[in-house]
Amino acid sequence: MHNPYQPEPAKIVSISRQTSSVKLFRFEFAQNIPGWKFSYQPGQFVELSLPGFGEAPFAPCGGIKEKYIELCVRNVGKLTARLHAMKVGDRVAVRGPYGNGAWPAGKYDFKVQKNLFIAVGGLGLAPLRSLLLGKNYFLGKDTKVQIFYGARNPQEMLFRHEYENWKKLKIKMELTIDKEHAGWKGHTGLVTTLFDKCDVLQNSVAFLVGPPVMYKPVLERLKKLGFADEDIYLSLERRMHCAVGACQHCAVGSYYTCKDGPVFSWAQIKNIPDAI
């Protein structure tokens, strides 16, 4: 039987560069355990480890119902620098998935009642890609999806070669970059400025993922538009160690981000000081 606390060997089967500091890795599991197949829900995360370099959480961005998982990893420190130096065929260890994966499985049945509005910045698009690529599994046939996505400049936009395909899935994207940039004809300004320029989908649940600095101003905009606290979901990033609710490193009020989150509704955390 598969033990979710035990790291499983996984092999890098492809690597592609997304931005100057971000690479997309595809991993296949060794499948040593008869009958076991890795599966996860969008919003959950895994812990990836490399002996001698440590372990860190990453939210899969692809591989829903596939025999592989994809992680989009920014090179920021010890483990991620080592991973960025690795080649196809090299091996890592992965344990999980952990967390609640609450986006699709939360309060709403998207199949019958709600559209989905997403406000996302920078690397935050990674976990949402799982949801977008798995749209047919998690959302209704007629669920409309609208994304406000902000990045520093056009080269920092993740998955930019996939947007044309996403449009075919009836995903409407509004892109913005922080400042004017040669050749860029889209919006400029922070994600919040898109609220002044574009209409937000009616009858929506809102998902927010991105740098913590984005959350307060986006929440203000959503509240002005009349979103209920229960209809707003945020993914919180906290330093994690055990990932299973034992070490208390990731506490937010009475919640553990690793176990009760990382996705929370605003109604759950709005009264917790420093939650965002």
CA geometry: angle 5, 105, 148, nearest 5 deg: 105
Cα–Cα distances (Å) from 43 to 33, 64, 192, 261, in that order, read 25, 11, 23, 9
Among 3, 37, 77, 202, binds ligand FAD (CB under 6 A): 77
Beta carbon nearer to ligand FAD, 152 or 172? 152
What does residue 108 show for φ and ψ, rounded to 5 degrees?
A: -95, 145
Beta carbons within 8 Å of 22's beta carbon, 6+ residues apart: 72, 73, 74, 75, 123, 158
- Closest chain position to ligand FAD (CB): 77
> Can you read off the two tokens belonging to residue 32?
């040593």
- Residues 248-267 touching ligand FES, rule: CB under 6 A, are 248-250, 256, 258
Rule CB under 6 A: is residue 242 a binding residue for ligand FES?
yes
76 contributes a contact to ligand FAD by CB under 6 A: yes
168 sits near ligand FAD (criterion: CB under 6 A): no
- Dihedrals φ, ψ of 69, to 5°? -125, 155
Check if the beta carbon of residue 93 is closer than 8 Å to that of residue 9: yes
Identify the residue among 10, 12, 69, 73 touching ligand FAD (CB under 6 A): 73
Tell me the number of residues near ligand FES by CB under 6 A: 12
Q: What is the DSSP letter of 193?
A: G
Q: Is the Cβ of residue 231 or residue 260 nearer to ligand FES in the bound state?
A: 260
Residue 149 near residue 175 (C-beta atoms within 8 A): yes
Nearer to ligand FAD, 82 or 187 (CB): 82
- Could you say which residues in the range 4-63 bind ligand FAD, by CB under 6 A? 45, 54, 56-59
Choose among 151, 98, 146: nearest CA to 122: 151
Point out which span in 10-18, 84-92, 192-200, 243-251 binds ligand FES (CB under 6 A). Answer: 243-251
Letters for 193-232 (x = contact with ligand FAD by CB under 6 A, - = none) are ----------------------------------------
The reply on whether position 48 binds ligand FES by CB under 6 A is no
* Distance in angstroms (rounded) separating the CA atoms of residues 168 and 166: 5
Binding site for ligand FAD (CB under 6 A): 45, 54, 56-59, 71-74, 76-80, 123, 126, 237-240, 262
Binding site for ligand FES (CB under 6 A): 240-243, 245-250, 256, 258
